[in-house]
Structure 1
Amino acid sequence: MGRGVAQLFAEQGHQVVLVDVADRILDSARAEIGREVRFARLLRPGTPTRVPEEVVGRITFTADLTEVRQVDFLFENTTENWDHKRALYCELDFLCAPGVPFGVNTSAIPITRVASATGRPDRVIGTHFMNPAPTKPTVELIRGHHTSDETLALIQGLLDRTGKRHIVVNDSPGFVTNRVLMLTLNEAIFLLHEGVSGAAEIDRLFKECFGHAMGPLETADLIGLDTVLFSLDVLCNSFDDSKYRPCTLLRKLVDAGLLGRKSGQGFHRYDTHRGRPASQRHETHRNDDTQESGDRRHG
C-alpha cells in the first residue's frame, strides 16, 4: 500500500520520501513502481503518458526514518499492529515539524487512538486509501475526535489535486468500509473452511452474480491475509463481539506464511511478478488441505 501511495503522489509531480525497514523492500518498491507506471496506459485507459524514470526519480527510497523531517505531509502505511504503530507515532511526532499533518492509512485501528500517541491530535486524520492506491478513485477520510477542520480541508485539497474523490466518516473501529468488508471476507473464509464451496467458486459467485470486480477471497489475498487477521482481531477486541472472530483457516494460512499476493500464495496462487493468479489457475484451500509444503512460496 505504501508504494502505491508514493506512486500516486509522485505521478502528480510531488517529491516523495518512501521509508521502509530494509533496502531489499525498497529495491522491490522501486522496481514495482517503475513497472506500474510503464504499464499504466494499458491497465488504466486514459491515463496520461508518464516516463517511469521521472516518476521514480521524484521518490527518495530510504530506510532512514529521520528523512521524514523534511516532509510537509505524512502518510503512514505500516502493519496493522497497535503496539508497532504506537511506538512509530512517538518517533514520528518527535521527528516531524509540529504543523505536519499525519494521514493514518489503517484498516481498523481507531484514528483517535492513533492520535493519542502524538502531541498533535488535531493534525491526525484517517486517510484510508484502497488498494491499489493509484487506480482506486475514492479515499475514505476518517475524522478522529480531535481532528481539526483545517486538517480535514488540507487533506481534501491535496486529494482533489490528485483527482481523488473522498468521503468523510466519523471515527469507529474499521470505519465504514472495513467494518463491513472484514465480516464479508471472514464469512467467505468460513464457507471455504467448512467445505461449502471452493475458493474459485466463491469468488465467481460474487463476480458473476453481484458484478463485483473481485471475489472476497481474491480481495483478502490482495489486502494481505495477515492484515485481514490483524483487522479482525482489532474489531473483535474493540467491540467485544464474537461475530468478528477470525476463522481458524485464516490463522493457519498466516502461520504458514501464505499471505496472498505479496507471498505468491493465499487462497489462490499468484505470479509474483504481476500479482495475478498464475496462469489463471486457482488453488483451493479446504479444511483437509494436503498440499505439499514444497509447493508453497513464502514472502
Structure 2
Amino acid sequence: MTIQNVMVIGAGQMGAGIAQVFAQAGFDVLLNDMNEEALDKGMKNIEKLLARSVEKERITEEEKSTALNRLHASSTLEDASSSDFVIEAVVENMDVKRQVFGELDAVAPKHAILASNTSSLPITEIAAATNRPNQVIGMHFMNPVPVMKLVEIIRGLQTSDETYQAIEKMTNQLSKTPVEVKDFPGFVSNRVLMPMINEAIFTVYEGVASPEDIDTVMKLGTNHPMGPLTLADFIGLDTCLYIMEVLHDGFGDSKYRPCPLLRKYVHAGWLGKKSGRGFYQYE
C-alpha cells in the first residue's frame, strides 16, 4: 500500500519530533492534540528546530518551508478519516492507549495502519481494542526523534506481514534504521537500558557514590555518551518508573523491582529535567 497522509496523535516532545521527521521526508502530516496549548507549543517547537537546522546549514530555507507547508494542526480524532497511517504518542498508559485505538478504529479508513510509539507496553493488547489487529504495529522512535536513527518495529500477535513490510519501507523513507522486535515487555531498548538506570539509582540509594561520580564512571569507564542518571533525568523519572513497573509486572522477576529511591523522587514531584529537579537541578 502507498502511505502519504499521516496523523500523529500527541504534540509533546516525541509526537512533535515524529511529525517533524515525517514532514521532512515528504509525507503530508496532521499533528493532533486535544489540548490546544500543547498543540500550539508542539507546532512552534517544530518550527524552531527546523530554523535551527537552517542556521547550522543542515537543511536549506526552502526545505524548511516545504516541510512546514506539509504540516497541519488537528484537534479532533475525526481528522483521521483521511489518513493512511496513524501513530499515537500519548501518555504511556494502557487504558489511555486502548481508548485512543478504539476511537481511531471507528474513524480511520479501512486500509489505514495504526501504530503506537509505546516504549514498553504490549502491542497485542493495544491491537485487541480494534477490529483490525492485523493492521496494528509498534513503532518505537528514540528521543530526540529528529536525531536518533533507530526505530524498533514491534509486531503484535496478529500483525500481518504486509503491515510490517509497509512500516519497514516507510521507516527507511524517514532515513531511520528499522529493527524488528518481538512483542515482549520493554522490547529490546528499554529491557536493557532501564535495569541499568535502575541499578545506577540503587547505587545512589545505597550510598555507593554520588550521582556525578556514578555518571563519570559510566561515561569514562564504559564509553557511554551520557551517564545513566543524567539520562534518567532527561527521559523523566516518572517514565523510568512506569517502564520498570511494566517490566516487573510483565516478567514477574525481582531483578526488575524499581528502586525505592526512584519511587520517592517521583512521589516528590522530582521528575528530572522537565520538572526542574531529579538527580540534578536544572534552571
Global fold match (TM > 0.5): yes
> Would the alpha carbon gap of residues 132 and 122 (structure 1) be closer, same or farther in structure 2, given more than 3 Å must change?
same
Query: Given the alignment, which residue of 58, 67, 87 partners 1:47?
Result: 58
CA distance in 2, matches of 1:204, 1:41: 34
State whether structure 2 residue 112 is matched by structure 1 residue 100: yes
Higher mean alpha-carbon deviation, 149-158 vs 196-205, is at: 196-205
- Residues 40 and 47 of structure 1 are in contact (CA less than 8 Å); yes or no, is this contact kept in structure 2? yes
CA distance in 1, matches of 2:74, 2:59: 28
Query: Given the alignment, which residue of 213, 216, 223 partners 1:204?
Result: 216
- Residues 23 and 62 of structure 1 are in contact (CA less than 8 Å); yes or no, is this contact kept in structure 2? no
Aligned-pair distance for 1:87? 1.5
CA distance in 1, matches of 2:145, 2:139: 11
Aligned-pair distance for 1:162? 1.5
CA distance in 2, matches of 1:66, 1:265: 38
State TM-score, norm by structure 2: 0.88
**Helix, strand or coil: the match of 2:137?**
strand
CA distance in 1, matches of 2:258, 2:157: 28
> Would the alpha carbon gap of residues 41 and 56 (structure 1) be closer, same or farther in structure 2, given more than 3 Å must change?
closer
CA distance in 2, matches of 1:269, 1:196: 20
State whether structure 2 residue 44 is matched by structure 1 residue 31: yes
Corresponding pairs, count: 269
CA distance in 1, matches of 2:238, 2:269: 9
Query: Given the alignment, which residue of 1, 10, 14 partners 2:27?
Result: 14
Higher mean alpha-carbon deviation, 191-200 vs 164-173, is at: 191-200
Q: What does 1:149-298 align with in structure 2 at a 5 Å threshold?
A: 149-271=161-283
Aligned-pair distance for 1:236? 1.0
- Residues 104 and 127 of structure 1 are in contact (CA less than 8 Å); yes or no, is this contact kept in structure 2? yes
CA distance in 2, matches of 1:238, 1:172: 8
**Helix, strand or coil: the match of 2:204?**
helix
**Helix, strand or coil: the match of 1:128?**
strand
Which amino acid is the alignment partner of residue 97 of structure 1?
A: P
Gaps of at least 5 residues in structure 2 are: 1-13
CA distance in 2, matches of 1:33, 1:258: 27
State TM-score, norm by structure 1: 0.84
- Residues 34 and 53 of structure 1 are in contact (CA less than 8 Å); yes or no, is this contact kept in structure 2? no
**Helix, strand or coil: the match of 1:39?**
helix
**Helix, strand or coil: the match of 2:125?**
helix
CA distance in 1, matches of 2:171, 2:276: 32
Aligned-pair distance for 1:262? 2.7
Aligned-pair distance for 1:178? 0.9
